[in-house]
Structure 1
Amino acid sequence: MPTFAASPGSSTTWRWLRRALWLLLGLMLALVLLVLFFPWDLLRGPVNRYVSEKTGRAFEITRRLDVKPGWRQATVMLDGLTFANPGWARSPHLVRAERAEIDVRLWPLLTGQVDLPRIALAAPELGLQMEADGRRTWALGKSDSGEGGSGTVPRIGLLQVDRGALDFLAPPYGVDIQAGFDFDSARGAMPLHFEMKGRYQGQPLQAKGRTGHVLQIDAVGAPPFPLEIRARAGATRLNAEGRVGSLSTLDGIEATFDLRGRTLGDLYKLLGVALPETPPYAVQGQLRKNGQRWDAAALKGRLGLSDIAGDLAFEQGGTRPRLSGELQSKLMDMDDLGPLIGLQPSARSARAVKLEDIPPPVTQEQAQRRRTDGKVLPTAPLDFERLRAMDADVRYTAQRIRNVREVPLERGSVHVKLKDAVLSLDPLDLGVAGGSFKGSIRIDGSSRPADIRASLDMRGLQLARLLPALESSGNSVGRLDGRLNIAGRGESVATWLGASSGDVALLMGSGQFGNLLPVFATLVGGDVIKFLARGDRDVQLRCAALAFDIQKGLMNSRTLVLDTSNAIFQAEGSINLASEQLDLVIRPEPKSPSILSVRTPLTVKGTLGDPRPGVEAAPLIARAAAVVAGASINPLLALAATLEPGPGKDADCAALRADANKPASAAARQGAARAKAIR
């Protein structure tokens, strides 16, 4: 078998290849050794000059530079570090620290991305600032003016500090705070304590708490860090403890919280959540955040005298944030509803929740005493900014409503919807005096003044429960039905009512009640004598109708009649909702003859806040003159002057109801039609 010897040329080639490989391996080994043992501090000066030139601000490693290289990541160790802020910033330094360790991913640097998985700082002083035009002191770039703030933003994973200070200014977000840190490893899982003060959204801010040694800024997959905080912003207090996944987005929050303050309305400026005005509150619950969604679950607490419970969700993103959820009260107190319509909380409601170090709110009673116009309708303007700030879909149910100020509300539920600056309470369902009060209210805040409409129906209200003075007699019965349909424009409850048009009507069928009220209302002396001698008797109610046309805030009587078995009451007049002036005249007419009568028309003058009942003096003066003149001739003639012939006649109840159900003026009809259109 033949054999082949290697040619001289091929042997030479293989020898050169082996030598080249060994040379390459040697160079690589030398490079590795050079990197491992390179005196990196020699590069401190060039690095200082390079970074300063690239960012446009002074950068200096003051004592020593060292590097622990790796294949994918290197750790840069700086002994003494100062890095200036751009000239427009308040704080002179972005960071100044005794020591720093910075992990840098190498491959992202090829694309211009600065990726820092970990930063450890010893005794740092940080100066962070954001401006409305997008400038940030931690943006590493050089603008045309030679200042930083418009370049690459480093991506920071974990931040580790021991002690130090932070100055953070962000005018677009209403943030101006200074914080101090203190580290002690003997404190267990949360060795880092912090305290901060400053202002947030125009409110003075104070906070303190503790957290873990390592804070997750933007690291993916890193474990959440524990956090406890006690904060006070203006008249709002927050105590919370739990854990946070990421500081940059606040994702991964799982915490329990205790929130209390003077009104939930304050949270709009602090958190951007447009909640209604309330009396002082204290609410506890569980808070979670995932992406753009915040969940406040297992809520439990008090709003003034009322308890509150339920779940809420707040979703950010999209055109506007959206609040949704369901809330319930076992007992809702009427006093707590005042702030919803622009009134201050009552004194009893304001005292129900104790707030340490928070001045109590101005009470309804104090506010009324301070008003110089003598009016009572709420003048607090609608907050159009809040109506446009977010959407909402929240259901609320009160199992029982406490009887306050003689209003026998028993239960209630409402579906609150806010969409594109249009707020609707639909349906609104209240249990009142054994009956129901149902309907809708809509406030269209897309333009100013707001288009406000209310359409409400009353069914089956029991007269005795509506008027406790009658209920106490034990023998008063009767059913009351009615409606309210009004529409207009305004920027408060007062200006809306003062400009609204529509229809109001109350209707009652047959019933009965004790005769004390009609006896004294008709001032018939004979019936008074019989009442005193025989005691209370049932007086039959045949029917009643009270109806007003409302035209641009002026309520003109359409039908005002109360027909009983012994008298008929007919009234007329007006109520001016703009000036709150009352001008009503009630004419009682007994249906049977009697003696010792001093009957005369009754008047109601004054204002809604200060009604002044009285009598028309002329008929009384004329009858008194007749008594005096008759007595001068013969005492029997004086008695004859008090005789009551009984001119009252039974009313046509069917006609009364028909008149009460038909608005008389065109303006009232149009206003009522606009109101009913929302249902």
Structure 2
Amino acid sequence: MSLLVVLLAMVLLLLFFPWDVLRGPINSYVSGQLGRRFEITRHLSVSLGRTTTVRAEGLEFANPAWAREPYLVKATAAEFDIRLWPLLRGKVDLPRISLIEPQIGLQMEPDGRRTWALSRDTADSAAVPNIGSLTVDRGTLKYQASGQGADMTAQFSIAAEAGTPSGSSVTLPLGYKVTGKWKNEAFTASGRTGGVLQLSKDLKESFPLEINAVAGKTTLKAKGSIENLQELTGLDATFDLQGRNLEELYKLAGIVLPSTPPYKLRGKLDKHGKVWAASQIQGVLGSSDLSGNLNFDTSGEVALLTGEVRSKLLDFEDLRPVIGLPVSPPAMAASVPGKSAATAARLKKPDQANASRKVLPTATLDLVRLKAMNADVTYSAADIRHVEQLPLDRGSVHVKLVNGVLQLDPIALGVAGGSLAGRIRVDVNVEPAAFETRLDLRAVQLNRLFPTIQTTKSSLGKISGQVNLTGRGNSAAGMLGSASGDVAVLMGKGELSNILLEFMGLDGGEIIKFLVRGDRNVKLLCSAAAFEVKQGLMSSKVIVLDTTDTVLNGSGQISLANETLDITLHPQPKDHSILSFRSPLRIAGTFASPSAGPDKLALAGRAGLTLALGVINPLLALAATFETGPGQDADCRRALALAVDPKAKAQPATTPAAGPARPAVKPPMGLPRARPSDQLAG
């Protein structure tokens, strides 16, 4: 009986113990252990148990001396649960915290120090308490982390009447507003959430969340639920995301994406563990649509982006920033009534001031970004529009980025009824970056290849080609300017616009005839061009175009480094024509402003002869322009073989009858064999 009385007395003592008398000793003990002021200013009560509940009226817990804000927590009232057994091992485990009118100051330094580490060593991650759930009423939280470029102030308040999101039975009593900076960009956010915030990974109960956030020029709206606010796990929400450039998401979220025009995207966002999943993506980039699914896995040493993205319609103007080309100025649209900015830009004629501008993309690779993330993403476009210089109609690419090595493999593009396929590899682990490329052009239709040149509309024939290049550089222009390898283009039987050939050969009589009677086509026997490339200089090995009307043999160089042309074509007619000033045709100038015309020295000699004869007799002057047609058929088999295999040695051209036929040269993979039966059959 006496034992029961003692036990009852102990229980009553614990239940009604005047804990306030211990406030002073507790304040001194905690302050001494942590090296900063801790004080319960008005009243203390405790409910003992395996999980003990502590209630304090008036709580002031100072920050370390190095912190900007004076208090870690200063609250009108606070109540928290604490587990005693972990506390005996030096671990602070707080399953629940409830604060009324708190002022919270959180700060983290690049060296690992954080104000909420409950130890004298504020860089000790083991001293960070484990907090389960948090309830806040009418409070302010300030968060500063210079390493994250963060300096934000959040205000919380419980709504007088809790709202309920559409389709949900869960109320959103807690409203919040955030202002400041994130990643050194102006940042604002507002929204609502559940009254109890789950912070521990051990708690699996989700709570509702709404957010409207703006960081720099990027806007995010999301609505859904989340299980763990501290690690953002168990997230299940819909989102609307828009901004001026997807590239800016690298700075804000660490996701490496290409430069794009302004975008608007929506979809479903989930996060389980370390994996973010954006699914059911729908939206636009510029004038192009976009859909697909993406996953961002941060569990590894290097984050990994995977997924598949598609476009039904891709506007090539929207692709310009991706490949490093300048974007057409929007103001240009105003100068062409009824036209878009992109169309107006295409209508603007180049002037002399632009003749020296660079055409190849000069945008440099961001080597740091390409090492910051790995990727395995496929992209496809069912229809590509507004490409005048190169008529693309569809395309797909598989992008792989592994430890600083970017591979576009395979690349597949539909070009003028044919295809362009191959691979590109860029290694940014060396400086400057090293690139390799292999591209195969197949069955491209001549009459669709140059949509802006009317004289090719009636031409027929299929073109094939191959590009093999390696080089070093941190931009497309730099890589091509240092490239070495070979380039070959060939075409078998077909038809060419005669008026185009006559312009090229400067045949005045033929031009007049066709302008009066209309154009007609000339049979093409073969055409080929092969270049050897060394340090950005393309030197011709063979250039030949053979028709029933004219043979054109050429030679020259193209500088990818200087973006200049110097090609000379020598026409040899096979027909008889009057008013002909046949002279070599020189193609020169820059990529931005190419020019084509007769060799002035050769033409001047013939013009001088014409004038001299005209003095004697006007009829003799006319006779000087008469062409008897000395041209012979080119050796197409040999020319095509050399174009297929650019490493073959160039030989003097002969007629097909001059000796036995050579064995066909086996072409590199992806190009047809150079045999008359298939090459010249078109």
TM-score (normalizing by structure 1):
0.88
Letter in 2 for 1:320: V
Alpha-carbon separation, structure 1, partners of 2:440 and 2:294: 30
CA offset at residue 471 of structure 1?
A: 7.4
Letter in 1 for 2:66: W
1:647 aligns with 2:630: yes
1:400-452 CA-partner distances (Å, limit 9, x unpaired): 22252242222222221122221111111112111111111111122222220
- Please tell me whether the aligned partners of residues 300 and 308 of structure 1 are also in contact (alpha carbons under 8 angstroms): yes
CA offset at residue 42 of structure 1?
A: 1.7
- Please tell me whether the aligned partners of residues 485 and 676 of structure 1 are also in contact (alpha carbons under 8 angstroms): no
Alpha-carbon separation, structure 1, partners of 2:537 and 2:133: 67
Letter in 2 for 1:388: K
- Please tell me whether the aligned partners of residues 99 and 137 of structure 2 are also in contact (alpha carbons under 8 angstroms): yes
Q: Cα gap change, 1:602/1:202 in structure 2, threshold over 3 Å: closer, same or farther?
A: farther
1:28 aligns with 2:10: no
- For residue 179 of structure 2, give the secondary structure of its aligned residue in structure 1: strand
Letter in 1 for 2:244: R
- For residue 592 of structure 2, give the secondary structure of its aligned residue in structure 1: coil
CA offset at residue 335 of structure 1?
A: 2.3
Q: RMSD value over aligned CA atoms? A: 2.7
2:140 is matched with 165
Alpha-carbon separation, structure 1, partners of 2:498 and 2:96: 87
- For residue 233 of structure 2, give the secondary structure of its aligned residue in structure 1: coil
CA offset at residue 227 of structure 1?
A: 1.2
Letter in 1 for 2:621: A
Q: Cα gap change, 1:373/1:206 in structure 2, threshold over 3 Å: closer, same or farther?
A: farther
2:293 is matched with 311
Given candidates 217, 235, 239, the residue that maps to 2:199 is 217
Q: Cα gap change, 1:169/1:101 in structure 2, threshold over 3 Å: closer, same or farther?
A: same
2:372 is matched with 389
Alpha-carbon separation, structure 1, partners of 2:397 and 2:331: 22
Q: Cα gap change, 1:525/1:193 in structure 2, threshold over 3 Å: closer, same or farther?
A: same
Alpha-carbon separation, structure 1, partners of 2:327 and 2:471: 26
Alpha-carbon separation, structure 1, partners of 2:155 and 2:210: 15
Alpha-carbon separation, structure 1, partners of 2:330 and 2:387: 11
1:280 is matched with 262
Q: Cα gap change, 1:373/1:205 in structure 2, threshold over 3 Å: closer, same or farther?
A: farther
- Please tell me whether the aligned partners of residues 470 and 476 of structure 1 are also in contact (alpha carbons under 8 angstroms): no
1:574 is matched with 557
1:558-596 CA-partner distances (Å, limit 9, x unpaired): 212222221122222111111212222222232222111
Runs of 5+ in structure 2 lacking a partner?
164-170, 334-344, 650-667, 671-682
2:247 is matched with 265
Alpha-carbon separation, structure 2, partners of 1:61 and 1:204: 37
Deviation larger for 369-378 or 258-267: 369-378
1:181 aligns with 2:169: no
- Please tell me whether the aligned partners of residues 424 and 443 of structure 1 are also in contact (alpha carbons under 8 angstroms): yes
- Please tell me whether the aligned partners of residues 356 and 592 of structure 2 are also in contact (alpha carbons under 8 angstroms): no
- For residue 72 of structure 2, give the secondary structure of its aligned residue in structure 1: strand
Alpha-carbon separation, structure 2, partners of 1:372 and 1:132: 50
Deviation larger for 220-229 or 516-525: 220-229
- For residue 110 of structure 2, give the secondary structure of its aligned residue in structure 1: coil
- Please tell me whether the aligned partners of residues 388 and 451 of structure 2 are also in contact (alpha carbons under 8 angstroms): no
CA offset at residue 470 of structure 1?
A: 6.6
Q: How does 1:543-558 map to 2 (within 5 A)?
A: 543-558=526-541
- Please tell me whether the aligned partners of residues 465 and 471 of structure 1 are also in contact (alpha carbons under 8 angstroms): no
Deviation larger for 104-113 or 31-40: 104-113
Deviation larger for 198-207 or 370-379: 370-379
- For residue 580 of structure 2, give the secondary structure of its aligned residue in structure 1: coil
* Bigger radius of gyration: 1
Alpha-carbon separation, structure 2, partners of 1:489 and 1:82: 61
- For residue 161 of structure 2, give the secondary structure of its aligned residue in structure 1: helix
Given candidates 61, 72, 76, the residue that maps to 2:50 is 72
1:91-126 CA-partner distances (Å, limit 9, x unpaired): 111111111111222332222221111111111111
1:627-649 CA-partner distances (Å, limit 9, x unpaired): 33333322212212322232322
Deviation larger for 411-420 or 371-380: 371-380
- Please tell me whether the aligned partners of residues 384 and 393 of structure 2 are also in contact (alpha carbons under 8 angstroms): yes
1:656 is matched with 639
1:18 is matched with none
Alpha-carbon separation, structure 2, partners of 1:42 and 1:206: 45
Deviation larger for 292-301 or 174-183: 174-183
- Please tell me whether the aligned partners of residues 554 and 570 of structure 2 are also in contact (alpha carbons under 8 angstroms): yes
Q: Cα gap change, 1:657/1:372 in structure 2, threshold over 3 Å: closer, same or farther?
A: closer
Q: How does 1:512-661 map to 2 (within 5 A)?
A: 512-661=495-644
Q: Cα gap change, 1:378/1:643 in structure 2, threshold over 3 Å: closer, same or farther?
A: same
Deviation larger for 90-99 or 626-635: 626-635
- Please tell me whether the aligned partners of residues 201 and 231 of structure 2 are also in contact (alpha carbons under 8 angstroms): no
1:13 is matched with none
- Please tell me whether the aligned partners of residues 505 and 585 of structure 2 are also in contact (alpha carbons under 8 angstroms): no
CA offset at residue 71 of structure 1?
A: 2.5
CA offset at residue 329 of structure 1?
A: 1.5
Q: Cα gap change, 1:435/1:148 in structure 2, threshold over 3 Å: closer, same or farther?
A: closer
Deviation larger for 546-555 or 567-576: 567-576
1:522-557 CA-partner distances (Å, limit 9, x unpaired): 121221232134322121111111221110111111
2:396 is matched with 413
1:486 aligns with 2:469: yes
Paired residues, number = 632
1:475-521 CA-partner distances (Å, limit 9, x unpaired): 43101011000011111111111111011111000101332211222
1:50 is matched with 29
Alpha-carbon separation, structure 2, partners of 1:481 and 1:646: 30
1:115-140 CA-partner distances (Å, limit 9, x unpaired): 11111111111111112222211111
Q: Cα gap change, 1:472/1:499 in structure 2, threshold over 3 Å: closer, same or farther?
A: closer
TM-score (normalizing by structure 2):
0.87
Alpha-carbon separation, structure 2, partners of 1:489 and 1:106: 64
Deviation larger for 610-619 or 83-92: 610-619
- Please tell me whether the aligned partners of residues 493 and 523 of structure 2 are also in contact (alpha carbons under 8 angstroms): yes
Given candidates 115, 120, 132, the residue that maps to 2:93 is 115
1:82 aligns with 2:60: yes
2:117 is matched with 139
Given candidates 385, 391, 416, the residue that maps to 1:402 is 385
- For residue 322 of structure 2, give the secondary structure of its aligned residue in structure 1: helix
Letter in 1 for 2:22: L
1:232 is matched with 214
1:594-625 CA-partner distances (Å, limit 9, x unpaired): 11123332222222122233332223333333
Q: Cα gap change, 1:665/1:581 in structure 2, threshold over 3 Å: closer, same or farther?
A: farther
Q: Cα gap change, 1:34/1:548 in structure 2, threshold over 3 Å: closer, same or farther?
A: same
CA offset at residue 172 of structure 1?
A: 2.9
Q: Cα gap change, 1:321/1:469 in structure 2, threshold over 3 Å: closer, same or farther?
A: closer
CA offset at residue 74 of structure 1?
A: 2.4
